[in-house]
Amino acid sequence: MANPSFRTKDVAKFYDSIRRWSHPEYPFLDAKYSPGSYAPAVDLTPFVTDCLADGRHDAIRELWSFLTPRNTASDRLLKKVLGAQIPAWLCLSETARHELKAINLLLHRMALTSNQDVSYVGAALAATVIGTRQLEVAPDYGEEMLRLTKSETPKESLLGSVYGPAKGARIALDAAMSPLGDAEPCTDKLKAVSPMARMVVADYVNRGWGQGLRLSLYYGERMYGCGDEHNQIYVDWLDFFAPPEDNTDPPSAVTKDILRAGLEEHGIACKKTATRKEMVEAARTSSGLIKALILKADPGRKDLRPEWRHAVSAWAQRVKTITAVGAGVLKAVAVSTM
Protein backbone atom coordinates (compact mmCIF):
# COMPACT_ATOMS: atom_id res chain seq x y z
CA MET A 1 0.00 0.00 0.00
CA ALA A 2 2.74 2.43 -1.02
CA ASN A 3 0.19 4.91 -2.41
CA PRO A 4 -3.03 4.33 -0.48
CA SER A 5 -6.25 5.92 -1.62
CA PHE A 6 -8.47 7.79 0.81
CA ARG A 7 -12.14 8.73 0.85
CA THR A 8 -11.69 12.03 2.69
CA LYS A 9 -9.27 14.80 1.88
CA ASP A 10 -8.65 15.36 5.60
CA VAL A 11 -7.23 11.88 6.14
CA ALA A 12 -5.26 12.07 2.88
CA LYS A 13 -3.68 15.35 3.96
CA PHE A 14 -2.96 14.01 7.43
CA TYR A 15 -1.30 10.92 5.98
CA ASP A 16 0.95 13.07 3.79
CA SER A 17 2.07 14.94 6.90
CA ILE A 18 3.08 11.80 8.83
CA ARG A 19 3.81 9.22 6.12
CA ARG A 20 7.56 9.31 6.80
CA TRP A 21 6.85 7.84 10.24
CA SER A 22 4.25 5.32 9.07
CA HIS A 23 4.64 1.66 8.17
CA PRO A 24 5.31 1.47 4.39
CA GLU A 25 2.46 -1.01 3.90
CA TYR A 26 0.05 0.02 6.66
CA PRO A 27 -0.82 3.73 6.81
CA PHE A 28 -0.71 5.41 10.22
CA LEU A 29 0.85 2.37 11.93
CA ASP A 30 4.33 2.39 13.45
CA ALA A 31 6.94 0.65 11.28
CA LYS A 32 8.76 -0.57 14.41
CA TYR A 33 5.87 -2.84 15.38
CA SER A 34 3.97 -5.62 13.65
CA PRO A 35 0.78 -4.45 11.90
CA GLY A 36 -1.20 -6.72 14.21
CA SER A 37 -0.25 -4.52 17.17
CA TYR A 38 -2.13 -1.56 15.64
CA ALA A 39 0.42 0.77 17.24
CA PRO A 40 0.02 4.26 15.69
CA ALA A 41 3.13 5.95 14.32
CA VAL A 42 2.39 9.23 16.12
CA ASP A 43 0.01 10.79 18.63
CA LEU A 44 -3.26 11.09 16.69
CA THR A 45 -4.94 13.28 19.33
CA PRO A 46 -4.45 16.65 17.57
CA PHE A 47 -5.98 15.37 14.31
CA VAL A 48 -8.95 13.73 16.04
CA THR A 49 -9.42 16.86 18.20
CA ASP A 50 -9.67 19.04 15.10
CA CYS A 51 -12.09 16.61 13.45
CA LEU A 52 -14.35 16.58 16.52
CA ALA A 53 -14.29 20.37 16.71
CA ASP A 54 -15.34 20.64 13.04
CA GLY A 55 -17.82 17.75 13.12
CA ARG A 56 -15.80 15.75 10.59
CA HIS A 57 -16.87 12.33 11.83
CA ASP A 58 -16.39 10.87 8.35
CA ALA A 59 -12.65 11.55 8.62
CA ILE A 60 -12.51 9.96 12.07
CA ARG A 61 -14.33 6.88 10.76
CA GLU A 62 -11.86 6.53 7.92
CA LEU A 63 -8.84 6.94 10.20
CA TRP A 64 -10.41 4.43 12.63
CA SER A 65 -10.62 1.86 9.81
CA PHE A 66 -6.82 1.87 9.52
CA LEU A 67 -6.28 1.57 13.28
CA THR A 68 -8.65 -1.21 14.33
CA PRO A 69 -9.80 -4.63 13.09
CA ARG A 70 -12.55 -4.23 10.52
CA ASN A 71 -15.55 -5.84 12.18
CA THR A 72 -18.95 -5.03 13.65
CA ALA A 73 -17.64 -4.70 17.21
CA SER A 74 -15.18 -2.03 16.10
CA ASP A 75 -17.90 -0.10 14.25
CA ARG A 76 -20.22 -0.24 17.25
CA LEU A 77 -17.50 0.99 19.57
CA LEU A 78 -16.70 3.96 17.35
CA LYS A 79 -20.35 4.95 17.15
CA LYS A 80 -20.55 4.75 20.93
CA VAL A 81 -17.47 6.85 21.67
CA LEU A 82 -18.36 9.48 19.06
CA GLY A 83 -21.42 10.17 21.19
CA ALA A 84 -19.41 10.68 24.37
CA GLN A 85 -19.85 14.00 26.19
CA ILE A 86 -17.85 16.00 28.71
CA PRO A 87 -20.12 16.90 31.66
CA ALA A 88 -21.59 20.37 31.18
CA TRP A 89 -20.75 21.24 34.78
CA LEU A 90 -17.02 21.06 33.99
CA CYS A 91 -16.12 24.60 32.91
CA LEU A 92 -13.54 23.88 30.23
CA SER A 93 -12.69 25.60 26.97
CA GLU A 94 -14.04 24.06 23.77
CA THR A 95 -10.51 23.06 22.80
CA ALA A 96 -9.97 21.22 26.07
CA ARG A 97 -13.35 19.49 25.79
CA HIS A 98 -12.62 18.23 22.27
CA GLU A 99 -9.12 17.16 23.26
CA LEU A 100 -10.46 15.12 26.18
CA LYS A 101 -13.06 13.53 23.89
CA ALA A 102 -10.29 12.67 21.42
CA ILE A 103 -8.24 11.06 24.19
CA ASN A 104 -11.28 9.05 25.27
CA LEU A 105 -11.87 7.88 21.69
CA LEU A 106 -8.26 6.87 21.08
CA LEU A 107 -8.07 5.21 24.49
CA HIS A 108 -11.01 2.98 23.54
CA ARG A 109 -9.26 2.17 20.26
CA MET A 110 -6.18 1.21 22.21
CA ALA A 111 -8.18 -1.02 24.57
CA LEU A 112 -9.86 -2.69 21.60
CA THR A 113 -6.55 -3.64 20.00
CA SER A 114 -4.23 -4.29 22.95
CA ASN A 115 -6.37 -6.29 25.41
CA GLN A 116 -4.64 -4.72 28.41
CA ASP A 117 -5.40 -2.13 31.07
CA VAL A 118 -4.66 1.21 29.44
CA SER A 119 -6.40 3.48 31.93
CA TYR A 120 -3.14 4.86 33.32
CA VAL A 121 -2.18 6.23 29.90
CA GLY A 122 -5.52 8.02 29.53
CA ALA A 123 -5.33 9.45 33.06
CA ALA A 124 -1.87 10.87 32.42
CA LEU A 125 -2.86 12.34 29.05
CA ALA A 126 -6.03 13.89 30.49
CA ALA A 127 -3.97 15.38 33.32
CA THR A 128 -1.81 17.22 30.76
CA VAL A 129 -4.99 18.77 29.32
CA ILE A 130 -6.44 19.80 32.67
CA GLY A 131 -3.05 20.75 34.11
CA THR A 132 -2.40 23.48 31.55
CA ARG A 133 -5.37 25.51 32.84
CA GLN A 134 -7.26 26.13 36.07
CA LEU A 135 -10.15 23.69 36.36
CA GLU A 136 -13.53 25.15 37.26
CA VAL A 137 -16.59 23.20 38.35
CA ALA A 138 -20.12 24.61 38.28
CA PRO A 139 -21.72 25.37 41.66
CA ASP A 140 -23.24 22.33 43.39
CA TYR A 141 -21.06 19.88 41.41
CA GLY A 142 -17.89 20.03 43.48
CA GLU A 143 -18.83 16.92 45.45
CA GLU A 144 -19.56 15.03 42.22
CA MET A 145 -16.08 15.84 40.88
CA LEU A 146 -14.58 14.90 44.24
CA ARG A 147 -16.45 11.56 44.15
CA LEU A 148 -15.10 10.81 40.67
CA THR A 149 -11.57 11.74 41.74
CA LYS A 150 -11.79 9.60 44.88
CA SER A 151 -12.91 6.60 42.80
CA GLU A 152 -9.62 6.96 40.88
CA THR A 153 -7.44 7.40 44.00
CA PRO A 154 -6.88 3.86 45.28
CA LYS A 155 -4.86 3.14 48.40
CA GLU A 156 -1.88 2.00 46.31
CA SER A 157 -1.74 5.27 44.30
CA LEU A 158 0.82 7.98 45.08
CA LEU A 159 -1.55 10.25 47.03
CA GLY A 160 -3.74 7.42 48.27
CA SER A 161 -0.84 5.58 49.88
CA VAL A 162 0.32 8.68 51.77
CA TYR A 163 -2.96 10.38 52.67
CA GLY A 164 -5.65 7.79 52.03
CA PRO A 165 -8.16 7.91 49.13
CA ALA A 166 -10.41 10.64 50.60
CA LYS A 167 -7.72 13.16 51.53
CA GLY A 168 -5.62 12.23 48.49
CA ALA A 169 -8.56 12.96 46.19
CA ARG A 170 -9.15 16.30 47.88
CA ILE A 171 -5.49 17.27 47.46
CA ALA A 172 -5.60 16.32 43.75
CA LEU A 173 -8.82 18.24 43.09
CA ASP A 174 -7.67 21.30 45.03
CA ALA A 175 -4.48 21.33 42.94
CA ALA A 176 -6.45 21.11 39.68
CA MET A 177 -8.75 23.97 40.74
CA SER A 178 -5.94 26.19 42.00
CA PRO A 179 -4.45 29.06 39.93
CA LEU A 180 -1.58 28.05 37.65
CA GLY A 181 0.83 30.15 39.69
CA ASP A 182 4.48 29.37 38.96
CA ALA A 183 3.48 27.05 36.09
CA GLU A 184 1.66 29.74 34.10
CA PRO A 185 4.60 31.03 31.99
CA CYS A 186 4.91 27.74 30.11
CA THR A 187 1.28 26.64 29.77
CA ASP A 188 0.37 28.55 26.61
CA LYS A 189 3.21 26.85 24.75
CA LEU A 190 2.28 23.46 26.17
CA LYS A 191 -1.33 23.84 25.03
CA ALA A 192 -0.05 24.16 21.45
CA VAL A 193 1.69 20.76 21.30
CA SER A 194 0.29 17.23 21.37
CA PRO A 195 -0.65 15.63 24.73
CA MET A 196 2.03 12.99 24.19
CA ALA A 197 4.71 15.67 23.76
CA ARG A 198 3.48 17.24 27.01
CA MET A 199 3.93 13.84 28.64
CA VAL A 200 7.54 13.73 27.41
CA VAL A 201 8.15 17.04 29.18
CA ALA A 202 6.39 15.95 32.39
CA ASP A 203 8.23 12.62 32.35
CA TYR A 204 11.59 14.39 32.08
CA VAL A 205 10.92 16.31 35.29
CA ASN A 206 9.05 13.68 37.29
CA ARG A 207 11.40 10.82 36.40
CA GLY A 208 14.46 12.87 37.29
CA TRP A 209 16.41 15.45 35.28
CA GLY A 210 19.59 13.39 35.31
CA GLN A 211 18.01 10.70 33.14
CA GLY A 212 17.34 12.98 30.16
CA LEU A 213 14.45 13.16 27.70
CA ARG A 214 12.67 9.91 26.87
CA LEU A 215 11.01 10.81 23.57
CA SER A 216 9.48 7.39 22.97
CA LEU A 217 8.20 7.09 26.57
CA TYR A 218 6.94 3.57 27.41
CA TYR A 219 5.09 0.62 25.88
CA GLY A 220 1.61 1.78 26.85
CA GLU A 221 2.20 5.22 25.38
CA ARG A 222 3.54 3.69 22.15
CA MET A 223 0.40 1.56 21.81
CA TYR A 224 -1.67 4.73 22.16
CA GLY A 225 0.50 6.59 19.64
CA CYS A 226 3.94 7.91 20.51
CA GLY A 227 6.62 8.48 17.87
CA ASP A 228 10.01 9.69 19.07
CA GLU A 229 10.81 11.63 15.88
CA HIS A 230 7.38 13.25 15.90
CA ASN A 231 7.74 14.14 19.58
CA GLN A 232 11.18 15.60 18.83
CA ILE A 233 9.60 18.15 16.48
CA TYR A 234 7.20 19.30 19.20
CA VAL A 235 9.91 19.38 21.86
CA ASP A 236 12.22 21.40 19.59
CA TRP A 237 9.39 23.88 18.96
CA LEU A 238 8.80 24.31 22.70
CA ASP A 239 12.46 25.32 23.04
CA PHE A 240 12.46 24.46 26.74
CA PHE A 241 15.61 22.36 26.39
CA ALA A 242 19.23 22.94 25.37
CA PRO A 243 22.45 20.90 25.31
CA PRO A 244 24.11 20.50 28.74
CA GLU A 245 26.51 23.09 30.11
CA ASP A 246 29.62 22.72 32.21
CA ASN A 247 27.65 23.25 35.42
CA THR A 248 25.41 20.25 34.65
CA ASP A 249 25.70 17.27 36.99
CA PRO A 250 26.96 14.38 34.80
CA PRO A 251 24.50 11.48 34.59
CA SER A 252 25.49 7.94 35.56
CA ALA A 253 26.28 7.25 31.89
CA VAL A 254 29.42 9.34 32.42
CA THR A 255 31.31 6.58 34.20
CA LYS A 256 34.57 6.78 36.09
CA ASP A 257 36.35 5.28 33.06
CA ILE A 258 34.98 8.03 30.79
CA LEU A 259 35.94 10.68 33.33
CA ARG A 260 39.45 9.30 33.77
CA ALA A 261 40.02 9.12 30.02
CA GLY A 262 38.79 12.71 29.60
CA LEU A 263 41.05 13.97 32.36
CA GLU A 264 44.07 12.21 30.88
CA GLU A 265 43.36 13.65 27.41
CA HIS A 266 43.38 17.14 28.93
CA GLY A 267 46.51 16.53 30.96
CA ILE A 268 44.74 16.74 34.32
CA ALA A 269 46.31 14.60 37.03
CA CYS A 270 44.02 12.17 38.82
CA LYS A 271 44.85 9.67 41.56
CA LYS A 272 43.95 6.04 40.87
CA THR A 273 41.95 6.03 44.10
CA ALA A 274 39.96 9.15 43.20
CA THR A 275 36.20 8.93 43.67
CA ARG A 276 33.79 9.81 40.88
CA LYS A 277 32.90 13.03 42.71
CA GLU A 278 36.56 14.02 42.84
CA MET A 279 36.95 13.28 39.13
CA VAL A 280 33.96 15.46 38.29
CA GLU A 281 35.39 18.33 40.35
CA ALA A 282 38.72 17.95 38.57
CA ALA A 283 37.00 17.93 35.17
CA ARG A 284 35.24 21.20 35.99
CA THR A 285 38.64 22.93 36.05
CA SER A 286 38.85 22.51 32.27
CA SER A 287 36.33 24.64 30.37
CA GLY A 288 33.99 22.60 28.21
CA LEU A 289 35.18 19.21 29.44
CA ILE A 290 32.09 18.25 31.46
CA LYS A 291 29.80 19.20 28.57
CA ALA A 292 31.92 17.21 26.11
CA LEU A 293 31.94 14.10 28.32
CA ILE A 294 28.17 14.22 28.83
CA LEU A 295 27.57 14.49 25.08
CA LYS A 296 30.06 11.70 24.44
CA ALA A 297 28.09 9.38 26.70
CA ASP A 298 24.70 10.67 25.49
CA PRO A 299 24.96 12.56 22.15
CA GLY A 300 21.30 13.62 22.15
CA ARG A 301 21.32 14.87 25.72
CA LYS A 302 19.34 18.04 26.45
CA ASP A 303 18.40 19.74 29.72
CA LEU A 304 15.86 22.35 30.75
CA ARG A 305 17.03 25.86 30.05
CA PRO A 306 17.54 27.81 33.31
CA GLU A 307 14.89 30.36 32.35
CA TRP A 308 12.24 27.61 31.96
CA ARG A 309 13.29 25.31 34.76
CA HIS A 310 11.07 26.73 37.51
CA ALA A 311 7.87 27.05 35.43
CA VAL A 312 8.15 23.67 33.69
CA SER A 313 8.99 21.90 36.94
CA ALA A 314 5.96 23.48 38.64
CA TRP A 315 3.73 22.41 35.73
CA ALA A 316 5.05 18.83 35.73
CA GLN A 317 4.43 18.53 39.48
CA ARG A 318 0.91 19.87 38.98
CA VAL A 319 0.22 17.24 36.30
CA LYS A 320 1.59 14.48 38.53
CA THR A 321 -0.62 15.58 41.43
CA ILE A 322 -3.85 15.75 39.41
CA THR A 323 -3.61 12.42 37.56
CA ALA A 324 -6.62 11.09 39.48
CA VAL A 325 -8.63 14.14 38.41
CA GLY A 326 -7.82 13.33 34.79
CA ALA A 327 -8.93 9.75 35.36
CA GLY A 328 -12.13 10.96 37.03
CA VAL A 329 -13.00 13.19 34.08
CA LEU A 330 -12.47 10.33 31.64
CA LYS A 331 -14.67 8.15 33.83
CA ALA A 332 -17.44 10.74 33.57
CA VAL A 333 -17.00 10.76 29.78
CA ALA A 334 -17.23 6.97 29.68
CA VAL A 335 -20.43 7.03 31.74
CA SER A 336 -21.97 9.43 29.21
CA THR A 337 -21.81 6.71 26.53
CA MET A 338 -23.79 4.16 28.53
pLDDT digit string (tens) for the chain, length 338 residues: 567 889 999 999 999 999 999 999 999 999 999 999 999 999 999 999 999 999 999 999 999 999 999 888 899 999 999 999 999 999 999 999 999 999 999 999 999 998 777 889 999 999 999 999 999 999 999 999 999 999 998 877 778 788 888 999 999 999 999 999 999 999 999 999 999 999 999 999 998 766 778 999 999 999 999 999 999 999 999 999 998 888 888 888 888 889 989 889 898 988 888 899 989 998 898 988 988 888 888 887 888 999 999 999 999 999 999 999 999 999 999 887 76
Q: Are residues 283 and 319 in the same domain?
A: no
Query: In this structure, are 115 and 217 located in the same domain?
Result: yes
First to last CA, the chain: 37
Please give the Cα distance from 318 to 122 (Å, whole number).
16
Among 80, 18, 21, 79, smallest CA distance to 47 is for 18
Q: How many CA atoms lie within 13 A of 184 on its CB side?
A: 6
Same domain, 159 and 109: yes
Q: Do residue 143 and residue 266 come from a single domain?
A: no
Residue 21 within a domain: yes
As for how many domains the chain has, the answer is 2
Q: State the residue range of the domain holding 235.
A: 9-242+311-335
Give the C-alpha separation, 329 to 97, whole Å.
10
Please indicate, yes or no, if residue 250 is contained in any of the structural domains.
no
Q: Is residue 199 part of a domain?
A: yes
CA–centroid distance for 212 within its chain: 15
Residues 190 and 212 in one domain: yes
Residues 218 and 261 in one domain: no
**pLDDT for residue 338:** 67
Q: Is residue 124 part of a domain?
A: yes
Same domain, yes or no, for 237 and 266? no
Pair 290, 280: CB distance under 8 Å: yes
In a domain, 2, yes or no: no
Residues 13 and 113 in one domain: yes
pTM recorded for the entire structure? 0.89
Q: How far apart are CA 113 and CA 220, in angstroms?
A: 12
Total Cβ atoms within 10 A of residue 201: 27
Residues 166 and 65 in one domain: yes
- Within a domain: 251: no
| Whether 71 and 129 share a structural domain | yes
* 93: in domain: yes
pLDDT confidence of residue 2: 60
Co-location of 88 and 118 in the same domain: yes
Q: Is residue 1 part of a domain?
A: no
Q: Are residues 200 and 269 in the same domain?
A: no
